[in-house]
Amino acid sequence: MDKREYRKGLMVVLGCMFLWGVLPAYWKMLIPISSWIIIIYRVLMVCVVAFIFAKVKYSWHEILEPLLHDRKMVVKLLSAGAVVTVNWSVFIWAVNSGHIIEASIGYYIEPLMVCVLGIIIFHEKLTRYNVTAISLAFVALVILLIHYHQIPAISLGIAITFPIYTAIKKSVTVPPLISLVYETVVFAPVALGIIIYLETTGQGALAVADGGKYVLLLLCGLMTVVPLGMFAWAAQRVSMFALGLSEYLSPSISMVLGVMVYKEDLDMVEFFAMCIIWVGLAFFSYGEWKATR
């Protein structure tokens, strides 16, 4: 691949990470709509937007091919959809309940958990840099566990569900847009039924939001699919090291938003735990850089 394509891919992946990093501001703008109502709308609108984009790019035959010829693949995609829906749900609830920092910690740990699953499931080679990074992440989790006097459910929920989603997707050969359609198509009719019931009984988004907020809510599918499409496009043009390293940008932006804009508290223990994770990520990134060379 030529340098021009690589630079384009790098710019697109950085733009994607910036969008993901500022996404908490979008979810915050939807308050006072309940988090679980936002989640239901997101399931429906992601399916709608993914289907529209897929239909523009692919034929009916290409969209229906997994359903007609590879039922096992469909089961994998449905499983991936269930897992990523849990991930979305935890993240949106965390953001709108004042836990952006804890959610960001989860996304810092997530690449290391992907590495762990790669070792366990796909028998990938374990390097000393990976061992160091994973060990430091475990130390940070123990510190947070002692500090919170409970399991850091938000961080662990995010850090575990997305790597599981990644592991499932690793064995999927379906294009990203078609994959998103299958991941949400079973849940979308259920979401639509719940939305119709809530809105007709005065318990939905329209009961608490004005027209502007409701229009913003309807854009949640676009806000999900566009950066995901950018990521998929860039992944074909940049190295895995550049792709992995860029993933640390979005939780960093989110954490800055949480502290500077939404005035969440980052106490010294959490900051110390984050420093340990950052050191681990430095080892992890150096190891990936050496492997890429």
Choose between 257 and 123: higher pLDDT. Answer: 257
Choose between 6 and 220: higher pLDDT. Answer: 220
For helices 3-29 and 211-218, angle between their N-to-C axes, nearest 10 degrees: 140
pTM: 0.84
Whole-number Å distance between alpha carbons of 54 and 182: 11
Q: What is the pLDDT of residue 216?
A: 95
User: What letter represents residue 268's amino acid?
Assistant: M
Q: Which stretch of 76-90, 91-105, 244-258 has the lowest confidence by average pLDDT?
A: 244-258
Q: What is the pLDDT of residue 289?
A: 76
Q: How many percent of the chain have pLDDT more than 70?
A: 95
Q: Is 228 left (phi over 0), alpha (psi -120 to 50) or beta?
A: alpha
The model's pLDDT over 181-232, given as tens digits with 9 standing for 90+, comes to 888 898 999 999 999 999 999 999 999 999 899 999 999 999 998 988 888 7
Q: What is the pLDDT of residue 229?
A: 82
Q: What is the pLDDT of residue 207?
A: 93
Q: What is the pLDDT of residue 96?
A: 92
Residue 241 has pLDDT above 70, yes or no: no
